[in-house]
Amino acid sequence: MQVWLYDIFHILMRLVEKVNPSVASRVKLLQAQLNKLTPQQLKEALAIQQQALPSIDDAFHLPIPAELISRQQGGLVTGPASQAYSATMNPPNSTQPSPKKRRMMNKKKVG
């Protein structure tokens, strides 16, 4: 089974090298770093990774941050990302043009 997976990995790496060489070089670098780990270090790294994210059940019961609640309710949130978000939340009867309409108006001004 491991030989079969090894062959598939190398076939996929050849494909990735053709499509995106930077991804292939990153994978090779990570593979080299992984090969340097001792079995004990590998176990520790996997244990840390497993602790990084809660299970789905635990995550479901976590409180929702206030910023997300205010976004859901259309509240005021500052910052460039939230401005882009609130621009898409304008109701259809809003006096402001939709983002799509604004892009078309800007193209007419430029062109």
Identity of residue 29: L
Contact 79, 71 (CB under 8 A): no
Q: State pLDDT tens for residues 45-55.
A: 888 877 777 78
**pLDDT at res. 94:** 53
Taking CA atoms, 45 is separated from 34, 37, 49, in Å, by 10, 9, 6
> How far apart are the two ends of the chain, measured CA to CA in Å?
60
**pLDDT at res. 50:** 73
Domain boundaries, the chain: 2-51
Cα angle for residues 45, 48, 49 (degrees, 5° grid): 85
Q: State pLDDT tens for residues 51-109.
A: 777 788 888 888 888 777 777 777 555 555 555 555 555 555 556 667 777 777 777 76
> Which one-letter DSSP state was computed for residue 79?
S
Q: To which H or E segment does residue 73 belong? A: none
